[in-house]
């Protein structure tokens, strides 16, 4: 039973970080990043190929680049950086000349292209099969049996939650600062923001990278836990789940992002796991998606601001005298 709880907590941590990242991009800055899952994937693949031994190991059944077998926490740090690095060329291409809805589509399409290319270019990241047998953090140091104990699970939960804390700290500092205000102004009316001296491209690119770093970290945490990562696991609807989480939880509000992460990817998908299997295989996932779609529509209609709307910011009155 405890394994279930610790697993749930790690998944929750991953989803919370991803939702906070997307909230920074979409909720606060107004960037509709329909390709977000690509950043999580970049972090996951990077952490994986840096933790894995060279590809000849394990009988050489996988083909992938690098394979440096680096110790924890280097793969996680690299995963976060990879998310940010991937954001740069994509951001430079997409954020400069396109209006909002075209940006969204271009980002969606780019994430799909990346998925197809990686699926077909086997030597790069082992194609459709993906990379597996990824050593969990500290596996080389403490041995294989130690990884399967409760203590290790608790350890994993703790380091995941530490990452959540770090990301939340950074996200709150950004959102509640004058910079956050400039981002929100850009979100509200970008032409007016530019007319008041805001460098829109710099702001968009920066938040693209910041969200990318956070997304990459979430991927590193996830791949360290489940040990494998394949293209089928990061198709474009995954991004939609995160958007649903933010719309439900509350756009622009980091606590809303956390609530949304708990309600939607964690709570919702976990809850439906307990339903008895009926109909053909694959029926339940199909209904899950229908429900996610209904959730999005329902909230956009009845409560577009989400459960926790963005807080009204007030300023303390100057003290008398």
Partner 1 sequence: MSLYAAAFGFGLVSLAVIAVGAVGFTMQFGITNLINLAYGDIMITSAFAAYFLNHAGVSIWIALLVGAATGAIFSFLLNRFIYAPFQRKGTPLIGMVIVSLAIGIMTSNLLLAFVGSDNVSYHQNPGSTVHLAGIILTTEQLLLIGVAVVLMLAIHALLRYTRLGKAMRATAANATLARNCGIPTGRVIDAVWLITGALCGMAGTIAAMNSDSFAVANGSGFLITILAAAVLGGAGQPYGAMLGAVIIGELTELSAAVISPEYKAVVAFSVLVVVMVLRPQGLLAKFGAMAAAG
Partner 2 sequence: MPADLGPLLTATDVHRHFEGMHAVDGVSIEVLPGRLTGLIGPNGAGKSTFLAVLAGTLPASEGSIVFDGEEISPLPAFRRARRGLVRTFQLPSEFAQLTVLENLLAAAPKNRGDSVVGALLGRRYWGADEDALVERARGLLGRFRMIEKENQYAGDLSGGQKRLVEIMRALMLEPRLLLLDEPMAGVHPSIVGEIASYLESLRDEGLTILMVEHQLAIVERLCDPVIVMAQGKVIGRGPLVELRRQREVVDAYLVG
Q: Which residues bind partner 2 (CB under 8 A)?
A: 170, 173-174, 177-182, 184-185, 188-189, 191-200, 206, 210, 252, 310, 312-315, 318
CB contact at 8 A, 296 and 243:
yes
d(CA 170, CA 177): 11
d(CA 273, CA 287): 12
CB of 257 to partner 2, least distance (A): 17
Give the bridge partners for 125, in sequence order. 64
- Residue 315, binding choice from partner 1, partner 2, none, Cβ under 5 to 8 Å by partner class: partner 2
Query: Closer to partner 1 at the Cβ: 52 or 114?
Result: 114
d(CA 87, CA 80): 11
d(CA 279, CA 77): 44
- Residue 293, binding choice from partner 2, partner 1, none, Cβ under 5 to 8 Å by partner class: partner 1
Query: Closer to partner 2 at the Cβ: 257 or 266?
Result: 257
DSSP 312: P
CB contact at 8 A, 80 and 217:
yes
Among 104, 157, 209, 242, binds partner 1 (CB under 8 A): 104
Site string for partner 1, 202-241 (x = CB under 8 A): ----------------------------------xx--x-
d(CA 107, CA 103): 6
CB of 272 to partner 1, least distance (A): 13
d(CA 71, CA 52): 10
Query: Closer to partner 2 at the Cβ: 1 or 320?
Result: 320
Give the bridge partners for 131, in sequence order. 229
User: For the chain, what is the radius of gyration of the CA atoms?
Assistant: 20
Q: Which tokens go with 140?
A: 């080389």
CB of 87 to partner 1, least distance (A): 16
154 binds partner 1 (CB under 8 A): no
Q: Quick one: which segment of 14-22, 255-263, 285-293, 312-320 binds partner 1 (CB under 8 A)?
A: 285-293
Query: Closer to partner 1 at the Cβ: 54 or 100?
Result: 100
d(CA 238, CA 242): 7
For the chain, give percent helix, strand, coil, nearest 5.
Answer: 75, 0, 25
Site string for partner 1, 113-132 (x = CB under 8 A): x--xx--x------------
CB contact at 8 A, 41 and 105:
no
CB of 193 to partner 2, least distance (A): 8
- Residue 297, binding choice from partner 2, partner 1, none, Cβ under 5 to 8 Å by partner class: partner 1
Of 11, 72, 16, which is closest to residue 225 (Cα–Cα)? 11
Task: Name the residues that contact partner 1, by CB under 8 A.
Answer: 32, 34, 93-94, 96-102, 104-106, 109-110, 112-113, 116-117, 120, 190-191, 193-195, 198-200, 236-237, 240, 243-244, 247, 279-280, 282-283, 285-287, 289-290, 292-294, 296-297, 300-301, 304
């Amino acid at each position: 039973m405890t394994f279930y709880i610790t697993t749930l907590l790690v998944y929750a941590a991953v989803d919370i970080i991803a939702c906070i990242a997307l909230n920074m991009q979409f909720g606060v800055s107004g960037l509709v990043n329909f390709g977000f899952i690509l950043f999580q994937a970049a972090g996951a693949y990077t952490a994986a190929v840096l933790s894995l031994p060279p590809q000849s190991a394990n009988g050489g059944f996988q083909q992938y680049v690098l394979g440096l077998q680096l110790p924890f926490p280097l793969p996680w740090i690299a995963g976060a950086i990879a998310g940010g690095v991937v954001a740069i060329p994509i951001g430079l291409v997409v954020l400069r000349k396109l209006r909002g809805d075209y940006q969204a589509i271009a980002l969606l399409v780019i994430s799909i292209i990346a998925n197809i290319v990686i699926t077909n270019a086997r030597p790069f990241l082992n194609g459709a099969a993906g990379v597996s047998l990824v050593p969990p953090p500290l596996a080389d140091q403490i041995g294989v049996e130690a990884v399967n104990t409760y203590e290790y699970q608790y350890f994993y939960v703790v380091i995941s939650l530490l990452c959540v804390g770090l990301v939340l700290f950074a996200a709150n500092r950004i959102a509640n600062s004058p910079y956050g205000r400039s981002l929100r102004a850009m979100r509200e009316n970008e032409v007016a923001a530019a007319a008041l001296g805001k460098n829109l491209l710099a702001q968009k690119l920066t938040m693209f990278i910041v969200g990318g770093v956070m997304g990459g970290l979430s991927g590193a945490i996830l791949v360290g836990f489940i040990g494998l990562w394949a293209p089928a696991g990061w198709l474009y609807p995954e991004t939609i789940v995160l958007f649903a989480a933010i719309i439900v939880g509350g756009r622009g509000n980091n606590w809303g992002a956390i609530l949304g992460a708990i309600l939607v990817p964690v709570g919702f998908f976990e809850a439906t796991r307990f339903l008895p299997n009926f109909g053909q295989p694959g029926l339940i996932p199909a209904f899950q998606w229908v429900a996610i779609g209904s959730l999005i529509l329902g909230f956009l209609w009845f409560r577009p601001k989400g459960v926790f709307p963005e807080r009204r910011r007030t300023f303390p009155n100057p003290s008398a005298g």
